[in-house]
Amino acid sequence: MRILILGGDGFCGWPSALHLSAHGHQVTIADSLVRRRIDDELGVQSLTPISPLSERVRAWADVTGHRIDVAEFDLARDYEALTELLTTFRPEAIVHFAEQRAAPYSMKSPDLKRYTIDNNLNATHNLLAALVHTGIDAHVVHLGTMGVYGYESVPVDLPEGYLTVTYPDRNGRSHTREILYPTAPGSVYHLTKSLDQLVFQFYARNDGVRITDLHQGIVWGTQTDETNLDPRLINRFDYDGDFGTVLNRFLVQAAVGHPLTVHGTGGQTRAFINIRDTVRCIRLAAETGDAVDGRVRVMNQVTETHRVADLAHLVAQTVGADISEVPNPRAEADENQLSARNDTLIGLGLEPTRLATGLLKESVEIAQKYTDRVDVSRIPCTSYWNRNRRSVATERVE
């Protein structure tokens, strides 16, 4: 298939592009390279030394003989470049990773809240408007997040996108209908993914655009079979307080002998997935677009759930480290339950890679290998979700 990867230079986008290319698909990457500019702006860098995108695709051609084309433009701003690419490449599937993806970054300042809303909504909407306008019937695979649902302790398995509810009319008669599972986003970033859902629903209903929305858990790990083939193909590994996800941050803290910083009690339960499973899920979703009709297909892209404190203990045991509780900058419950159904991806053939396997060891080794690249001062999260959180954190630190 001809597959366009929007945001194909990023942490999930790059290994997905390679995985799809390795499986015989004709891949084009579109990316504005903004993620690299944000590193510069924040004064941080990927733990792993990533190559420029042009060198990455050259290396991939060297090693495998597969060609990946690159188009550099900003999806949220450059609609003309998008329609031009659509009409020349004529993709059959489009994987859409091209959104600002960090919750703490989205809460850092009014300007970054505004950037996140403006960038993510216009990126998603430009893509859908362009598909309708050009008449290209490509299946859109979008990376969403489990985080749109918030983390209240509702004692249900989170279903895949929809919920069937019952309610009475004014005469007391009962009615049943299927609704989008109600969202309760916990940051401006999560809000944008919740907004995306309504945009997808509209374009699926009004114009018949085929859309799969993947509600992904927190990704851990770095390398995949494909990025392991050559050092120039190495994937990004973020450990900073804005873009680093919890497990990868713990691994770096352990590698440099820093206590593992747990927000609050660490009683937050979250859903996880290894990057190797992410790329497989993306492929399974992209290859099954014919099954999608005017109703958005939603899959929970998760393989397991863990309490954050349990993860900290697992890393502390494996590598040897202390654990330190710090004030939680987020406006969220200290403790919650969570379980989520993932029947659709399992049904498509996903065999989950679990945390207890040797892969945690691989991540530890990567973290240890590149400790000289770590700036310890950038590990803590310095965004606060609101005024109250900021003052609590400041008091406790002083």
Q: Would you please indicate which residues are annotated as catalytic (active-site) residues?
A: 145, 189, 193
**Per rule CB under 8 A, is residue 122 in the interface with a copy of itself?**
yes
Selected range binding a copy of itself among 62-70, 201-209, 268-276, 299-307, rule: CB under 8 A: 201-209
Selected range binding a copy of itself among 119-127, 221-229, 301-309, 368-376, rule: CB under 8 A: 119-127
Structure tokens, 63? 């090693």
Query: Minimal distance in Å, beta carbon 195 to a copy of itself?
Result: 5
**Calpha distance 217→271 (Å, rounded):** 5
Query: Minimal distance in Å, beta carbon 326 to a copy of itself?
Result: 20
Query: Minimal distance in Å, beta carbon 311 to a copy of itself?
Result: 25
- DSSP 8-state secondary structure symbol assigned to residue 36: H
**Per rule CB under 8 A, is residue 390 in the interface with a copy of itself?**
no
**Per rule CB under 8 A, is residue 250 in the interface with a copy of itself?**
no
**Calpha distance 34→245 (Å, rounded):** 19
**Per rule CB under 8 A, is residue 185 in the interface with a copy of itself?**
yes
Selected range binding a copy of itself among 107-115, 252-260, 315-323, 390-398, rule: CB under 8 A: 107-115
Question: Per-residue DSSP letters for 152-221?
Answer: ---SSEE-SSEEEEEEE-TTS-EEEEEEEPPP--SSHHHHHHHHHHHHHHHHHHHH---EEEEEE-EEE-
Whether the CB-CB separation of 16 and 224 falls below 8 Å is answered with no
Query: Minimal distance in Å, beta carbon 314 to a copy of itself?
Result: 27
**Per rule CB under 8 A, is residue 61 in the interface with a copy of itself?**
no
**Calpha distance 169→149 (Å, rounded):** 27
**Per rule CB under 8 A, is residue 385 in the interface with a copy of itself?**
yes
Query: Minimal distance in Å, beta carbon 122 to a copy of itself?
Result: 6
**Per rule CB under 8 A, is residue 104 in the interface with a copy of itself?**
no
**Per rule CB under 8 A, is residue 24 in the interface with a copy of itself?**
no
Whether the CB-CB separation of 46 and 236 falls below 8 Å is answered with yes
Answer for which of 24, 65, 110, 320 binds a copy of itself (CB under 8 A) is 110
**Per rule CB under 8 A, is residue 118 in the interface with a copy of itself?**
yes
Whether the CB-CB separation of 254 and 321 falls below 8 Å is answered with yes
Closest CA to 144 of 191, 187, 210: 191
What are φ and ψ of residue 95, in 5° steps?
Answer: -100, 120
Answer for which of 182, 231, 257, 347 binds a copy of itself (CB under 8 A) is 182
Whether the CB-CB separation of 319 and 365 falls below 8 Å is answered with no
**Calpha distance 2→116 (Å, rounded):** 29
Q: 38: exposed, middle or buried (C-beta count within 10 Å: 0-12, 13-18, 19+)? A: middle
Distances (CA, A) of 231 to 16, 129, 278, 383: 17, 39, 21, 33
- DSSP 8-state secondary structure symbol assigned to residue 348: T
Answer for which of 87, 386, 391, 394 binds a copy of itself (CB under 8 A) is 386
**Per rule CB under 8 A, is residue 206 in the interface with a copy of itself?**
yes
Helices (H), the chain: 13-22, 34-42, 53-64, 79-89, 103-106, 110-134, 188-207, 246-255, 275-286, 308-315, 343-347, 359-369, 387-397
HSE-up (13 A, CA, CB side) for residue 252? 28
**Per rule CB under 8 A, is residue 381 in the interface with a copy of itself?**
no
Answer for which of 199, 256, 326, 333 binds a copy of itself (CB under 8 A) is 199
| Residues 329 to 358 in contact with a copy of itself, rule: CB under 8 A | 331
Distances (CA, A) of 252 to 81, 141, 216: 39, 31, 23
**Per rule CB under 8 A, is residue 293 in the interface with a copy of itself?**
no
**Per rule CB under 8 A, is residue 154 in the interface with a copy of itself?**
yes
Answer for which of 157, 225, 322, 365 binds a copy of itself (CB under 8 A) is 157
Is 220 or 385 the residue whose CB approaches a copy of itself more closely? 385
Number of residues that bind a copy of itself (CB under 8 A): 51
Which residues in this chain contact a copy of itself in the complex, by CB under 8 A? 79, 110, 113-114, 117-118, 121-122, 125-126, 129-130, 132-133, 135, 154-157, 163-167, 169-170, 173, 175, 177, 179-180, 182-186, 188, 191, 194-195, 198-199, 202, 205-208, 331, 385-387
